[in-house]
Chains A and B, each alone.
Chain A
C-alpha cells in the first residue's frame, strides 16, 4: 500500500515537445506529492509539488496534474529543452508524519534531443 508506480521508465522527446510522466499511488493517506529532478552524479532537487486540495499547479514550463479519485498525478514539461534531460522522480508522503519521509517512484530518464 506504500508503493508509488511511475511510468514510463524512459522518454525521448524532441526539443520544443511536451514531456509527460505519470505516477499512481495506493495509500490514500498520502497528502503531499512532489516531483524531483536529478542530474547525473548529483542529488535530486525539488522541482514542483502539489497538495490534494488542488487539481493542477503550474510553475513556468512545469505543470502537475492531480486526480484524487484515480489516485494519479502527472508531470507535464512544456516546450522541452535539452537542459531538461535528467531523471525525474515522483514521490508522496503524509504531512502529519513528516514531509521528508517520501515514497519515491522508480524514476523516468528523460532525454530531449536538440
Chain B
C-alpha cells in the first residue's frame, strides 16, 4: 500500500531563519507531487507541483522554493522566513495517469514564524 510521510509535524522558527520541510511517498513510483498551504479560513492553496525529478512548477510567487531530488521525495524550502509564511503545509501525491483524480495528502507540517 502507498503511504506519504511529512516531517517535521510542528515547527516554530524565527523570522529570517531558513526552512526545510520534507515529504516522501512509499509504495508507488513516478507520482505527481504537490505542496499546498492551508491558512485559517482560507482553504488550501497550491504552491508547487512536480511531474518528475528536478521538474518543479511554481503556482504562486512567494518566498518559498521546492525541489525534487529523488522520484518520491519532495522538499519545501526557504532561505529567510517571513511572518506570512506561517501556516499548515500539506504534501500530496497523485498517481501518474490516474483517471480517478484522487489526491492523497500527508498529515501536514504546522509552521509558526515568530
Chain A residues with a Cβ under 8 A of chain B: 6, 9, 32, 34, 36, 41-46, 49, 89, 91, 93, 95, 98-107
Contact = CB atoms under 8 A, between A and B. Distances in A.
Which 9 pairs from chain A and chain B are nearest by CB? Answer: A43-B105, A99-B101, A104-B43, A100-B94, A104-B44, A106-B43, A46-B102, A100-B103, A107-B43
Interface of B: 32, 34, 41-46, 49, 59, 90, 92-94, 98, 100-103, 105-108
B41 A99 contact: no
B59 A100 contact: no
Contacts of B92: 43, 100
8 contacts: A9-B41, A43-B108, A46-B103, A99-B98, A101-B49, A102-B46, A104-B43, A104-B45
Given A42-B108, A99-B94, A100-B92, A49 B101 contact: yes
Contacts of B106: 43
Given A34-B103, A49-B102, A106-B43, 10 more contacts: A6-B43, A9-B41, A42-B107, A46-B102, A98-B49, A99-B101, A101-B46, A102-B46, A106-B41, A107-B43
